[in-house]
Amino acid sequence: MSQELIDLNPDLKKLKEEGYAVEVRDAFLLIHEIPYVNSKCQIKYGILVSDLTSIAGDKTVGPIGQHVAHFIGEHPCNSDGSLITGIQNVSKNITLTNEITINHSFSNKPLSGYKDYYEKMVTYITIISSQAKAIDNSVSEKPLTVINFDDKESVFNYLDTNSGKAKINVISSKLEGQKVAIIGLGGTGSYVLDMIAKTPVLEIHLFDGDIFLQHNAFRSPGAPSIEKLYEIFKKTDYFHQVYSKMRKNILSHNYYLTPSNISELSEMDFVFICIDKGDIKKLIVEHLIEKNITFIDVGMGVLKVDDFLIGHLRVTTCTANKRGHIKDRISFSEKGADNDYSTNIQIAELNALNAAFAVIKWKKLFNFYQDLSKEFNTTYSINDGILINEDNIT
């Protein structure tokens, strides 16, 4: 993906063609072998780094949003050994990704901003390398070096520049490698998918035997056309088609789980249960507990009272070390998960909120978010806005 982006993006391709040692790694642009002067008036070589947050597909949308650049090496100096104060910003070791740690950040912003990444990088390179050339005019910032890419396979079809922009690549990497299953692609399950699809988990397995019908469109992410509804998709096949545009390894299992195929969950690292059928939910929960697979079960109960809707949302977590609370939190009745109501009212924002609570808890379990309370059951009451966290590990 990185080499392809360099060849397709006009800015990056121009840098490469002019002889700069260009690399794209983990959604950051790196220009290697930049000559600079250190405080001892010695000529050294460093790496200039920029985010790529103004990339859309393979094109740059200018003026680019971030004018700050980063540097790996000592702080560049003038030919007399004094710091180049015109670009001086922050000198601090910051880990951007597991493979990129910068030592300094520079700030040099033109009034109109930089129109593209070529202009940005060449501006900084010229400022830095000119002082090395003042000592030895034979040095060059264009080594004509071809970078040997160790371009690891990404689960995404394009760069995750959002993590790069927020500088949370290292934190996001904690979620890598997981095989995650989502059981039930109704309102809540489809929003769980929407959020999980934007993380670097290895595989996402979708289980549901239902057809994606018109009412599903009103409580799921996105906006399918009437023509798409005419095609009559199974839910898992529909969402596979939608989210495979963004990432790889979404696997559609367009059937219900039963005693004969429940073993398909045995290879999962994590499971989201988003169904309200009590008999099959009981089978799933018992199997996951037997296999020591961590899971989250969601529930929603909404009732029409007079001219209002009231009710609650629930998120219950079970791990190998915390499962005794399950019998008091998850209902296996056929009326629906922890639902005392006979109706099945679902509203998009409630589905999305229930899914968000579940995904936030999942990320807490893998140290993406800090978890101080370590709650294993959360309920949200709609009409009074009360959020209760229970079954905490102290």
In tens, the pLDDT along 200-209 reads 999 999 999 9
Q: Is residue 101 a contact partner of residue 95, using CB atoms and an 8 Å limit?
A: yes
Q: How far apart are alpha carbons 152 and 150 in whole angstroms?
A: 6
Residues 6 or more apart whose CB falls under 8 angstroms from that of 9 comprise 55, 58, 59, 60, 117
Measuring CA to CA, which residue among 164, 148, 239, 157 is closest to residue 195?
Answer: 239
| Domain residue ranges in the chain | 2-153, 176-390
Q: Is residue 173 a contact partner of residue 219, using CB atoms and an 8 Å limit?
A: no
Least confident of 147-151, 241-245, 260-264, 267-271: 147-151
Instruction: Quickly state the pLDDT bin for 54 (edges 50, 70, 90).
Output: very high
pTM for this prediction: 0.87
Neighbours of 245 (CB within 10 A): 9
Radius of gyration for the alpha carbons in the chain, expressed in angstroms and rounded = 26
Q: Is residue 238 a contact partner of residue 205, using CB atoms and an 8 Å limit?
A: no
Tell me the H-state helices in the chain. Answer: 2-8, 10-17, 117-135, 161-166, 169-172, 187-196, 214-217, 226-230, 235-243, 278-290, 326-329, 348-365
Give the homologous superfamily in CATH for domain 176-390. NAD(P)-binding Rossmann-like Domain (3.40.50.720)
Residue recorded with tokens 């998709």: 233
In tens, the pLDDT along 340-379 reads 434 578 899 999 999 999 999 999 999 999 999 999 999 9
